[in-house]
Structure 1
């Protein structure tokens, strides 16, 4: 017989269903994703670190798992909630099942619960902490454990690369600051020929300058942007020196670095069909999104930021640009995965911005720079 699993919400609601994946207990923020496909990319998206993810589409697992579709080296979700789990995939590309993947990485899953009811609770009351378990503890014990376990605050450190690495190219050098970056961002830059250097989240502005970048890419990532104040300070020091493009968490960090403020959304935006309006053209794009925080509209006043995109559903800010410097950001995912690739043009816009910046600010010859440095060192030694 299949093992039982239970999901307890902090408001006391209890769901009982069937377990799949790993056994044990896990606590996290319970959120929902409205995507019809793309469950593998959702599971492997670092932005879900510390969260128990509910899929609103009822059937999950029917096309299995393909290693080529991973968005990170390993999943970081704290649980997976579905209406129906399909244990036997039917897809010529499938290399594994969802159940096997979750067992491999210690992720607990629950199926055969009313995900419509759970989603409605989260929409009405907001995302909340939850405990997912395959154990047999009494409900009182589960409530006590849930109340005693805080939500994570170090998700960026958990998901960011620990070492600098590169993806060589023969065009612009882009320093990608990894706050929990999806593979799709690196994929979009490298297919455009960029020489990409990926650096950890706590890399300083001076260390980035020594890499001699043509542009700075701020990645997506999990959690509250205010939990990484060092990242805000680094971005603040880089704005104006290099063209800059922020995505999702990178968008929020860009806003904070420019003096704006962020706030937590009631239940966030997670799915592949969110309509976003580009204010300059009036065009609406269907976008892939995964975030729980937003830039506060009123906080833009008094800064040098300009709103470029808004969400057509709730009118929250979806894009910003700096009024003086070559820097912009979007709240959604132009690299998609899963979702539509309608917004991939933003990477081209970023590269055009870099090229224009280089034309307007030609570099001095390297020999002259070196000579000036050596003269300065010689004068210092003579003193």
Structure 2
């Protein structure tokens, strides 16, 4: 059986095309069962996310499989094949295995190292299992994909450094404060990036949250979401006396916090450290504040610099990950090749066991009544002898070997298996 990976993603198709090919909700189960009835597709998994739609398949013939899957996508989504041809990538055999390993390990993701894709792939596999569309090949490939992804996360640092502004802000906060969950946090404004960073801080254990906004209703809404308290906008500067982390993102055309204000606040705080993140454009926090002792101010550009450095680091780690993928592809191909010998191995074991039982029965009749313990000892002895005798040919059949077909034929001839169903 050959393996295929056919699909499109954020690199090959714009959102306008991806949304036409997506399998969402009830569509997914319907599609799974239609594909299940295909003449050439013997096994299948459908992965559908906002960034990619892919079908992994075990097929009897690769060329027929490709045409069958393309026809299925065209018919199911009612899109022209020429539209698909412009966007689809097709991987066969070892390259299909490589693709699934890279997807599972997030090496093919928009953000290399992100963890969500592995969970999405597992969900796709669960749906396939539920509808009984996988077999020995894709079951093994999926399990190996998960283990490869875990190995890459263990042996590389591909997921350790922040590659978004919001994550970089939290990463800095963790470096400045060892005990982040004990620190207080104020969100000024309601920019999307600032809200995302606020969620990351809360996910990292910060619980003392204050929210301020020129629009009181918006402040109350965010305070409810973040389990924090509302601070009137005109009073937020006074609350900085009790704030360790400040995240600012407003639409103000001027500075809402200047150096002299913070200088006085720091005196009253007895120089207790303060971390300020200004994601506003134009900036809302006076950059001269960075001259003050124990105040750490970062704006969008300084955070972007951290992100750019981290992206470069992830790229280096991705090179290590690719080597792991190469190594694991070889292991899978070795296992897949061994499947050719499985019927012969099964036939050899069955024949050996049948002979053992037949001869054992003759001996036990000749010996007459025996204690149960002695019968078990003889059973164990005969089974052990048989296993040791057939182990060498069985091991040889499982090994990677360019002459596997000749070896299979030789074992069949030597052990009289040619007339068996093998």
Query: TM (normalized to structure 2)?
Result: 0.23
Q: Which has the larger radius of gyration?
A: 2
Q: Which has the higher helix share?
A: 2
If asked which structure has higher relative contact order (CA below 8 Å, sep 6+), I would say 1
Q: Which has the higher strand share?
A: 1
